[in-house]
Every structure is written in structure tokens, then in C-alpha cells.
Amino acid sequence: MKLLEKLKGMEKTALKEIIESANLDELETSRVKYLGRKGVITDAIKGIKNVAKKDKPRVGQFINKIKQKITVLIAEKECSFREEEQARFENDDVTLPGIRREIGHKHPLIKTMEDIIEIFTRMGFKPVDSPEVETEFYNFEALNIPEDHPSRETFHTFYVEGGHLLRSQTSTTQIRIMERHKPPLQIIHAGKVYRPDAVDASHSFMFYQIEGFMVDEGIAFSDLKGVLEGFAKEYFGEDVKMRFRPHYFPFTEPSAEVDIACFICGGKGCRVCSYKGWLEILGAGMINPRIFEFVKIDPSKYTGFAFGMGIDRICMLKYGIDDIRLLYENDVRFLRQF
Ligand code: DAH
């Protein structure tokens, strides 16, 4: 019988296809092709109605057998694919250590800045923000540095379009805050400053400063000393030695530069302190009454102190970094060490 031959041929192709299917997707394609609603077997069953009456049972049984064989084979094949998958999972050694994801950490400069701010915050100073793009008024005039003043030289400045400049010191914050807020004031600010210096191991055209100041009735130089000593002990250690050297700043009177005894050599003299035994860490003084006049605070009623320090320098001293450029090159081999 021709029809049976045809069906046998179809059976052979179907079983071969199923056996050779390489994965669950291919197996599913074969299932749809043979057993699906519009599949080969379904078509064959539908075709029974055209078969001669006497042959119908034989043909019907034959097709049913093929259908069964295909169904069983697909089920077996599916089972073996799933077992393989399971085995692959079980072969994973769940006791192996995981892959550690590298997480970043703070840049040493930012860490230094945050550590310093944190200490002053605990002493009652309030951290504020202040702009980097400034005017001559805030960077110079209001800080008692008129145009022909020789100390403008020490604050070499980048000028930008529209009469603005990049601040060359964070002391601008004193004016920004005092013109809008009245005493008592206890303020701390950290941020970038810019100076067109030739870049070398100790100079960068951009660096970080911290500015702090306190204004109230009866603030004295001893308050400044107390605050700075408190800070130095907290940051550099209880045994730190500190000295105030008379200096000149246009915005403070009297002014001082503050040194700490070199913590590398203990004051004996070494490379880090250039054999001086002392490290300069900041400038400070009593706020010049002329500044109060600029910001309309009564100098006969209020006094205050101010101080400013370079964060880069403190960071370099603290971590033994001998070239400021390392702080800005972002070489991960350097940064990983902190
Ligand atoms: N602004 C000074 C500088 O850039 C640092 C400074 C000195 C700030 C004395 C002060 C101060 O507040 O009182 O070198």
C-alpha cells in the first residue's frame, strides 16, 4: 500500500530529526512540525477520511503508532536535555571563593579635606559653599588688597571673560558670608583655588584651601590659638608642637604663619622639613577692622579671627607624598596605595 510506505518514510525522517536535535529549541521546532495543530501527524489523521473504508482501521492504527513513537521520543529527548543542564549546574563548586568586586575609595586629597572639615565641624564651625569664579571685589578689594597693593603679586590670578577671575584664595568666603550674615559667625569652607604658577613638585595651577573664621563680641588671639592647637592635636596627634611666627596678610592684623614641629624628625631636621625642624601649615590672624567696614559689621563691637591652609600640603605631609603632581595625575598605581 502506497500510503503506508509514505507514512513509514515520514516516520523515519521524523525520528531521525528528533534524535539529532541539538538542544531544547530544536526539539520544540520538531514537536511543532510533527505534533502541532497544523503538524504532519495531525494532517495525516485528517487525511484518513479519504482512505478506502476497509483500509481505514489499519491506516488509523499505523498513524497512531507513529504518533506515539514520536511523542515518547520527544519526551525522552527533553528529559535528557534537562538532565544535562542539571548536571552542568551541579558541577559548579559552590564552595569556591567568589569573585571579589573592586570598590573604589576616596582620593587622598578629598579624604584630607573631609577629615579636616570634620574636626572643625566638631568644634562648632559650620561648613559653607562659596564660588570659584569671582570678581576682583571679593578676591582683592574687600580683602584690603587694592589694585596697586604689592601683595597682589603673591596672589597671581587667572582672569576670565566678563570682568571675572578664578579665585586665588578661599578668603573670598569671609566676604561672601559676612556681607549677608551677621555675627556670631563660625564658618569653615574648603575648595579649589587657582594661580598661574609654573607647575613643579610643589606648585600646581589649581590646588585646595580651607578657610575658617569666627566673629563675635570679645574674640581674642587666644581663641585663635586654642582652636588651631585643638585642630593640630586632633589631626597630627597629642604631642604635636606648634609655633606662631609674625607675618603679614592684608586682611588680618596682627597676622601669623603657623608651623608644627616636623613629625618625621621630631624637630631635629630632615629632608621633609628642609632641615628646619618646622613645617609651615597655615596663615592666620585677627580679622582686620577694615574688612568689617567692607561688610558693614561694627568693628567697635565685634572682633574675629581667620585662618587659611593649603590642603594639598597637609595631605602631602600626612601621607609622605613628595610631589604635588601625583595628586592630580590620577595614576591608579599611586591612588591604590591609600
Ligand atoms: N588667603 C591666604 C593665602 O591664600 C591664607 C590666609 C592667611 C587666610 C591668613 C586667612 C588668614 O584667613 O587669616 O595664602
In a domain, 134, yes or no: yes
190 or 1, which is more confident: 190
Q: Establish whether residue 282 lines the binding site of ligand 1, counting it when its CB lies within 6 angstroms of any ligand atom.
A: no
In a domain, 186, yes or no: yes
Query: Higher-confidence residue: 222 or 154?
Result: 222
Q: Given this model, what pLDDT does residue 264 score?
A: 79
- Domain membership of residue 95 (yes or no) is no
Are residue 191 and residue 300 in the same domain, yes or no?
yes
153 is written with which cell numbers? 603679586
The DSSP output letter for 6 is: H
The protein residue whose alpha carbon is closest to atom 4 in ligand 1 is: 169
Ligand 1 pocket, 208 CB below 6 A?
no
Which run of H or E residues covers position 308? strand 303-310
Q: Is 284 in the pocket of ligand 1 (CB under 6 A)?
A: yes
Pocket test residue of 169, 214, 257 for ligand 1, highest count of atoms within 8 A of CB: 169
Are residues 315 and 178 both part of a single domain?
yes
266 within some domain: yes
**Res. 1 pLDDT band, cuts 50 70 90:** low
From 125, 153, 171, 257, mutation site for ligand 1 pocket: most ligand atoms within 8 A of C-beta = 171
Q: In ligand 1, which atom is closest to the CA atom of 251? A: 13
Report the pLDDT value the prediction gives residue 18, as an integer from 0 to 100: 94
pLDDT in tens, 170-203: 999 999 999 999 999 999 999 999 999 899 998 9
Confidence of residue 70 (pLDDT cuts 50, 70, 90): very high
Is the beta carbon of 139 within 6 A of some atom in ligand 1?
no
Q: Counting atoms of ligand 1 from 1, which one is nearest the CA of 169?
A: 4
Q: Domain ends where: 90, 116, 131?
A: 90
Given the CA of residue 212, which atom of ligand 1 is nearest to it?
12
Q: How many CB atoms lie within 10 A of CB 326?
A: 16
Give the domain CATH number at 278. Answer: 3.30.930.10
297 and 215, same structural domain?
yes
Angstrom distance (rounded) from CA 161 to CA 289: 32
pLDDT at position 19 over 90: yes
Q: Which DSSP letter does residue 274 get?
A: T
Are residue 62 and residue 195 in the same domain, yes or no?
Answer: no
What is the distance in A from the centroid of ligand 1 to the CA of 148?
19
**Pairwise CA distance, residues 80 & 19, whole Å:** 11
pLDDT at 263: 79
Mean pLDDT of 16-24: 93
Residue 150 has pLDDT above 80, yes or no: no
Determine the average pLDDT of the residues in 2-15.
89
> Do 86 and 169 reside in the same domain of the chain?
no
- Best mutation site among 152, 166, 249 for ligand 1, i.e. most ligand atoms within 8 A of its Cβ? 249
Give the per-residue pLDDT at 126: 98
| Euclidean distance between CA atoms 3 and 8, whole angstroms | 9
List CB contacts of 105: < 8 A, sequence separation 6 or more.
338
Same domain for 230 and 324: yes
Q: Is the pLDDT higher at 299 or at 155?
A: 299
CA–CA distance from 269 to each of 66, 261, 277 (Å)? 99, 10, 4
User: Among the three residues 56, 90, 124, which one is the final residue of a domain in this structure?
Assistant: 90
pLDDT at 205 over 90: yes
Amino acid at the residue 170: T
Which residue range(s) make up the domain with 181?
Answer: 108-335
The answer on 116 and 78 residing in a single domain is no
What is the count of structural domains for the chain?
2
Query: Predicted confidence band at 85 (pLDDT cuts at 50, 70, 90)?
Result: confident
